[in-house]
């Protein structure tokens, strides 16, 4: 028993030491970012893009003279870790603004916590349509799936496919997008021959492929990720399935093309896009090259950059550091704000609008579909 008490006091001391953090003469914002775990590959890029924006904010005078800082909290790329992380940011540091984690499921897990505690939560890479209804303190600078689902339906329609098989990755993102697609597609007079979900991260999708083969459709709408998409394309090719694959934005990656090894040829998909011809984008590109010479621009880095810049603008205009004042300032700041990724004006749900482009794979390279 003595040993137990001794151990516990030891731990308590250890933790009390960890509280000496954060000064008063600066404006600090929290961020739950995947720095370890399966999304760490992307998390590092998000972090770098945020830090780039932060440098620029502080170079031009910070927040009304005070320097701005971001405290990064890791989430192990899991929803559990995200909840733990945001609880630490809210409980210990009491930050009024927190940048939410990547992946919709992680973001959705922390949404109610932010809303209940009246803390502003901003996301830069979560697309699930359910996030729109999270609450009044939740915003995102990334477009919702709703638009993209409609985009895929229009694409299918334009290409003249009236009967398709629909398959989607079995998570919030896939299901959300599939539902929007289905509604729009059926409204346009299309017909679904078969529809089923496929699990994330499997190595063998032959059973799913066979189910597609059985119906011998002309086109398959496959709303999935990079690895899953590549594996399915490859195994469909091996099984001798000849269809037109229609995909969403999440599988648009050179890695998908590389993993599928030639089987990705001819795939067509949609993705939210923004013009790369604007002065904002060019400035971002130059700034990136200056700060991280030789480093490739990360996926969704532009959105993270916009998020920090927009937040800084809002913090400057806020009457006090209370979440309600910041919230009002954020909505005001976003009105007509043109960032690297386009217009960031928040609507009533804290969402932004977006335009959609089309991509295709030709000769082993991803290009725009015309």
Partner 1 sequence: MDYLLHILIVALIYGIFAISLNLELGYTGLYNFGHVAFFGIGAYTSALLGLSGLPVSLSMALGMAAAGVAGALLAIPALRLTGDFFGIATLVFAEMVRLFFVNERWLTKGPMGLPGIPRPSWIGEGIAGLPMFLIFCILLTVLVALTGRRLATSPFGRALKVVREDEYVAQTLGKNVLSLKIRAVILGSVLAGLAGCLWAHYISYISPSDFTLNETILVLLCVVLGGKGTNWGPVLGAFIIIFFQEALRFLPIPADFGRLVAPLQGMVYGFVLILIMLKRPEGIVSEYRGSRQC
Partner 2 sequence: MTYYAQLVLNGVIAGSIYALFAVGLTMVYGVFRFINFAHGELIAWGAYLVLLLINPPFSVPLYLAVLPALLVTMAIGVGQDRYVYQPLIHGNRITLLIASIGVSYLLRNTIRLIWGSDLMTYGIRPVRGIQFAGLSITPTQILMIGAAVFFLGALYFLLTRTMLGKSLRAVADNMELAAVMGINMKKVSLTVWILASLFAGAGGFLLALDTNLEPVMGMTNMIKAFAAVLLGGAGNVWGALVGGLFIGIAENVGVAFFSPGYKDFISFALIFLLLILRPKGIFGVLTGVR
Positions touching partner 1 (CB under 8 A) are: 1, 3-4, 7-8, 11-12, 14-16, 18, 35-37, 40-41, 43-44, 47, 73-74, 76, 78-80, 83-84, 87-88, 90-92, 105, 108-113, 116-117, 130, 170-172, 175, 197, 199-200
Taking the complex as a whole, how short is the minimal distance between the CB of residue 73 and partner 1, in angstroms? 8
| Shortest Cβ 287–partner 1 spacing (Å) | 19
In the complex, what is the shortest distance from the CB of residue 202 to partner 2, in angstroms, rounded to a whole number?
9
Give Cα 327 to chain centroid, integer Å. 21
Contact partner at residue 227 from partner 1, partner 2, none, CB < 5 to 8 Å by partner kind: partner 2
Place of tokens 């015309």: 370
Residues across the chain: 370
Q: Which is nearer to partner 1, 88 or 332 (CB)?
A: 88
Q: Which is nearer to partner 1, 114 or 243 (CB)?
A: 114
Do 56 and 34 contact (CB within 8 A), yes or no?
no
Minimum Å gap between C-beta 154 and partner 2 is 28
Name which of 84 and 273 has its Cβ closer to partner 1. 84
Q: What is the contact surface with partner 2 in residues (CB under 8 A)?
A: 37-38, 41, 170, 196-199, 201, 203-208, 210-211, 213-214, 227, 231, 234-235, 237-240, 259-263
Q: Which does 79 bind (CB under 5 to 8 A by kind): partner 2, partner 1, none?
A: partner 1
d(CA 28, CA 95): 7
CA distance 334 to 315: 12
Q: Which is nearer to partner 2, 118 or 211 (CB)?
A: 211
Q: Which is nearer to partner 1, 59 or 91 (CB)?
A: 91
Q: Which is nearer to partner 1, 47 or 249 (CB)?
A: 47
Question: Residue 14, CB half-sphere, CA atoms under 13 Å: how many?
Answer: 6
From the list partner 2, partner 1, none, which binds 263 (C-beta under 5 to 8 Å, kind-based)? Answer: partner 2
Which contacts (CB < 8 Å, 24+ apart) does range 184-187 have? 184/149, 184/150, 184/153, 184/154, 185/153, 185/156, 185/157
Minimum gap (Å) between residue 203 Cβ and partner 2 = 4
Region of 205 on the Ramachandran plot (φ > 0 left; ψ -120 to 50 alpha; else beta): alpha
d(CA 112, CA 138): 9
Q: How far is the CB of 108 from partner 1 (least distance, A)?
A: 5
- Do 74 and 30 touch, CB atoms closer than 8 A? no
Taking CB within 5 to 8 Å according to partner kind, which of partner 2, partner 1, none is near residue 108?
partner 1
Q: Binds 14, which of partner 2, partner 1, none (CB < 5 to 8 A, cut-off by type)?
A: partner 1
Closest CA relative to residue 357, chosen from 195, 101, 154, 190? 154
168: number of Cβ within 10 Å: 23
Q: Closest separation between CB of residue 15 and partner 1, Å?
A: 6
β 268-273/68-74 pair status: unpaired
Q: Tell me the C-alpha distance between 145 and 179, whole Å.
A: 10
Nearer to partner 2, 61 or 201 (CB): 201
> Cβ(246)–Cβ(221) under 8 Å?
yes
Q: Cβ 7 to partner 2, closest distance in Å?
A: 23
């Amino acid at each position: 028993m003595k040993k137990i008490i001794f151990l516990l006091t030891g731990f308590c001391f250890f933790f009390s030491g960890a509280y000496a953090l954060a000064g008063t003469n600066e404006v600090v914002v929290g961020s739950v970012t995947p720095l370890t775990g399966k999304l760490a590959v992307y998390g590092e890029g998000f972090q770098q893009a945020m830090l780039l924006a932060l440098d620029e904010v502080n170079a031009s005078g910070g927040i009304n003279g005070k320097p701005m800082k971001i405290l990064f909290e890791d989430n192990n790329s899991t929803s559990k870790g995200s909840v733990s992380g945001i609880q630490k940011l809210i409980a210990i540091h009491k930050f009024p603004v927190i940048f939410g984690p990547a992946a919709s499921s992680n973001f959705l897990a922390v949404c109610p916590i932010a809303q209940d505690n009246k803390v502003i939560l901003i996301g830069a890479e979560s697309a699930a349509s359910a996030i729109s209804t999270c609450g009044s303190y939740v915003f995102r600078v990334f477009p919702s799936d709703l638009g993209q689902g409609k985009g895929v339906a229009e694409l299918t329609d334009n290409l003249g496919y009236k009967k398709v098989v629909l398959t989607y990755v079995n998570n919030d993102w896939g299901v959300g997008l599939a539902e929007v697609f289905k509604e729009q597609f059926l409204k346009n007079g299309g017909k679904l021959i078969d529809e089923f979900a496929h699990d994330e991260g499997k190595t063998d999708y032959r059973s799913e492929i066979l189910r597609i083969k059985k119906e011998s459709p002309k086109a398959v709408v496959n709303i999935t990720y990079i690895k899953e998409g590549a594996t399915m394309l490859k195994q469909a090719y091996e099984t001798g399935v000849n269809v037109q694959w229609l995909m969403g934005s999440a599988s648009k990656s050179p890695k998908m093309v590389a993993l599928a090894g030639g089987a990705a040829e001819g795939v067509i998909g949609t993705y939210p896009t923004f013009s790369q011809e604007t002065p904002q984008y060019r400035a971002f590109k130059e700034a990136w090259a200056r700060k991280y010479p030789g480093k490739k621009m990360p996926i969704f880095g532009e959105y993270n950059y916009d998020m920090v810049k927009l937040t800084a603008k809002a913090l400057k205009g806020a009457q006090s550091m209370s979440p309600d004042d910041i919230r009002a300032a954020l909505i005001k700041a976003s009105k007509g704000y043109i960032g690297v990724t386009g217009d960031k004006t928040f609507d009533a749900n804290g969402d932004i609008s977006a335009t959609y482009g089309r991509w295709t794979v030709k000769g082993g390279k991803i290009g725009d579909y015309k």
